[in-house]
C-alpha cells in the first residue's frame, strides 16, 4: 500500500476512524448484507485509517544541527568592507567584516605603542645614567673608607712616636736629678741638660702636630665616607624610582586597552561553517540587525511543532518522513529530542482549514546523513512532518 498520505486531509480522515470501526463491528452482528458490495472498499479505508492512527502529523522547519549564528557589530559604526560572500566557507577567527572605526582605532594603537617604546628607551637611558651615578658613589664610598683606614693607621704610627718622647722625658729627668745631686753635679753640664730639654720639646711639638694632622685626616676621611654613603643611598633610591619617573605602566595600560578595543572591532567568525546570508553593504550604518548569518551545514535537523495531545505518543528514536514541494524526494530522520516546553506554534499550517488555537511541543528530528546535503540547500524551509509512532 502506498505510504504517502495527503496531509491536507489527514486530520479529517482521522475523524472518520471511529465511524469506520463502528460499521465494522455492527455488520457481522446484524447479518446485514447491505454493505457487502463495499467490503473491499471498507477494508482499504480501514487500513488507511489504521495507517493514519499510527502517525503524527505536524509542521517543521529545516535547520542546521548547531543552529544559525547571527554576526553583528556595535551599533552606530559604519561598514567599510564585507570580506565574504554568501556560500563561502569560513573558519574560526576569520575576519568577516571591516568597520570604519577599525582604521582610526588602529592608528591610535600605533601611536600609543610608539609612545610606550620611546618611554621604555627613555627608562633604559635613565636607568643607565642612574646606575653610573650609583657606581661612582659606591666607588667614592669605598675610596673614602680606605682613606679612613689609612688615616687610622697613620694615627697608630703617630701614637708609637709617643714612646720616643717618653724615653727623652726620662733622660731629661735623669739628667736633672744628676745636676741637682752635689755628688754628680760636676758630671752633668748645664748645656747638656738644656740640649736634652730642647730635643724633648721639639719631639713633643712634632708629635702633637702629627697627632693633630692624623686626627684631621681621620675626621676628613670619615666625613667623606658619610657623604659618599649618602650619595650612594640617593642613587639607589633614584634607581628604584626610575619606573615612576617614566610613565611606563600607564602607557602599557593604555596600549592594552586599545588592543582590547581594536579586537572588539574585528568582526570574526566564531566557528567553522558556511555563510548563509549577508545583509549589509559597505557604507551602511551598523544597526540592531545582524550583518550576516553563518552555520555548519554538515549536520541538519528538522524542528517540528507537534500538537500537545500527541506528545505522549512520541518516543526518542521514532522515524519521521519530511516532505515539501521544494524537495525532490522525502527526507528521513529520527527523533533525538522531545522538549518539555509547551507554547503557541511558530509555524502556520498551509491548510486554511487547520486549527490555529492549539499548543505545540518542539520535537527535534535528526536527519539521516544521506539527506543532510539536500536539507542544507533549503535552510529554514517549512516542511510537512510525518512521524511513525509504531515500534
Highest-confidence segment of 39-48, 137-146, 193-202: 137-146
Average pLDDT, the chain: 80
> Which residue bears the cell 659618599?
228
* Rounded distance between C-alpha atoms, residue 207 and residue 72, angstroms: 97
User: What pLDDT sits at residue 18?
Assistant: 41
Q: How much of the chain exceeds pLDDT 70, in percent?
A: 79
| CA nearest to 274, candidates 368, 372, 363, 362 | 372
* Rounded distance between C-alpha atoms, residue 344 and residue 307, angstroms: 10
Highest-confidence segment of 12-26, 92-106, 350-364: 92-106
Please determine, for residue 92, whether its predicted confidence score (pLDDT) is greater than 90: yes
Residue 88: all three cell numbers together: 563561502
Please determine, for residue 91, whether its predicted confidence score (pLDDT) is greater than 90: yes
Least confident segment among 190-194, 222-226, 277-281, 358-362: 190-194
User: What pLDDT sits at residue 291?
Assistant: 93
DSSP state of 59: E
Residue 68: all three cell numbers together: 544559525
| CA nearest to 383, candidates 7, 51, 4, 2 | 7
* Rounded distance between C-alpha atoms, residue 346 and residue 106, angstroms: 44
Please determine, for residue 65, whether its predicted confidence score (pLDDT) is greater than 60: yes
Q: 28: buried, middle or exposed (CB in 10 Å: 19+, 13-18, 0-12)?
A: exposed
Residue 382: all three cell numbers together: 517549512
Highest-confidence segment of 2-16, 131-145, 252-266, 298-312: 298-312
How many CA atoms does the CB half-sphere of 118 hold within 13 Å?
6
Average pLDDT over residues 333-337: 96
User: What pLDDT sits at residue 21?
Assistant: 41
- CA torsion 352→357→359→364, rounded to 10°? 20
Q: Which residues 6+ apart lie within 8 Å of 257 measured at CB?
A: none
Q: H or E segment at 219?
A: helix 190-240
Q: 3-state DSSP call for residue 329?
A: coil
> Which residue bears the cell 554538515?
298
Each residue's pLDDT tens digit, 18-63: 444 444 444 444 444 444 445 555 766 665 565 567 899 999 999 9
Least confident segment among 116-130, 168-182, 221-235, 307-321: 168-182
Amino acid at each position: 500500500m502506498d505510504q504517502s498520505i495527503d496531509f491536507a486531509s489527514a486530520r479529517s480522515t482521522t475523524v472518520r476512524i471511529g465511524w469506520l470501526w463502528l460499521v465494522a463491528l455492527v455488520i457481522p452482528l446484524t447479518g446485514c448484507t447491505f454493505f457487502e458490495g463495499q467490503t473491499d472498499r471498507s477494508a482499504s479505508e480501514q487500513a488507511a485509517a489504521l495507517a493514519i492512527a499510527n502517525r503524527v502529523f505536524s509542521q517543521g522547519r529545516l535547520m542546521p544541527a548547531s543552529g544559525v549564528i547571527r554576526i553583528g557589530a556595535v551599533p552606530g559604526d559604519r561598514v567599510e568592507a564585507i570580506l565574504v560572500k554568501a556560500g563561502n566557507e569560513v573558519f574560526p577567527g576569520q575576519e568577516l567584516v571591516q568597520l570604519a572605526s577599525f582604521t582610526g582605532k588602529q592608528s591610535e594603537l600605533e601611536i600609543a605603542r610608539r609612545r610606550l617604546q620611546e618611554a621604555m628607551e627613555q627608562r633604559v637611558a635613565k636607568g643607565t645614567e642612574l646606575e653610573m651615578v650609583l657606581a661612582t658613589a659606591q666607588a667614592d664610598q669605598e675610596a673614602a673608607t680606605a682613606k679612613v683606614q689609612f688615616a687610622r693607621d697613620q694615627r697608630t704610627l703617630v701614637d708609637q712616636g709617643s714612646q720616643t718622647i717618653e724615653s727623652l722625658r726620662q733622660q731629661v729627668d735623669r739628667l736633672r736629678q744628676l745636676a741637682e745631686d752635689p755628688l754628680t753635679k760636676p758630671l752633668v753640664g748645664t748645656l747638656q741638660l738644656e740640649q736634652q730639654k730642647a730635643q724633648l720639646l721639639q719631639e713633643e711639638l712634632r708629635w702633637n702636630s702629627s697627632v693633630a694632622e692624623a686626627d684631621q685626616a681621620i675626621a676628613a676621611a670619615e666625613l667623606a665616607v658619610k657623604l659618599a654613603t649618602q650619595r650612594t643611598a640617593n642613587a639607589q633610591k633614584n634607581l628604584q624610582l626610575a619606573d615612576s619617573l617614566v610613565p611606563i605602566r600607564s602607557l602599557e595600560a593604555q596600549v592594552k586597552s586599545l588592543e582590547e578595543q581594536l579586537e572588539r572591532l574585528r568582526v570574526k567568525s566564531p566557528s567553522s561553517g558556511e555563510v548563509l546570508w549577508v545583509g549589509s553593504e559597505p557604507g551602511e550604518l551598523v544597526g540592531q540587525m545582524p550583518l550576516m548569518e553563518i552555520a555548519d551545514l554538515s549536520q541538519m535537523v528538522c524542528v517540528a511543532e507537534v500538537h500537545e495531545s500527541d506528545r505522549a505518543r512520541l518516543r526518542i528514536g521514532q522515524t519521521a518522513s519530511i516532505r515539501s514541494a521544494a524537495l525532490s524526494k522525502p527526507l528521513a530522520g529520527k527523533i533525538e529530542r522531545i522538549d518539555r516546553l509547551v507554547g503557541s506554534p511558530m509555524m502556520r499550517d498551509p491548510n486554511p482549514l487547520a486549527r490555529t488555537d492549539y499548543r505545540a511541543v518542539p520535537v527535534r528530528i535528526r536527519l539521516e546523513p544521506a539527506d543532510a546535503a539536500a536539507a542544507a540547500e533549503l535552510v529554514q524551509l517549512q516542511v510537512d512532518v510525518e512521524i511513525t509512532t509504531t515500534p
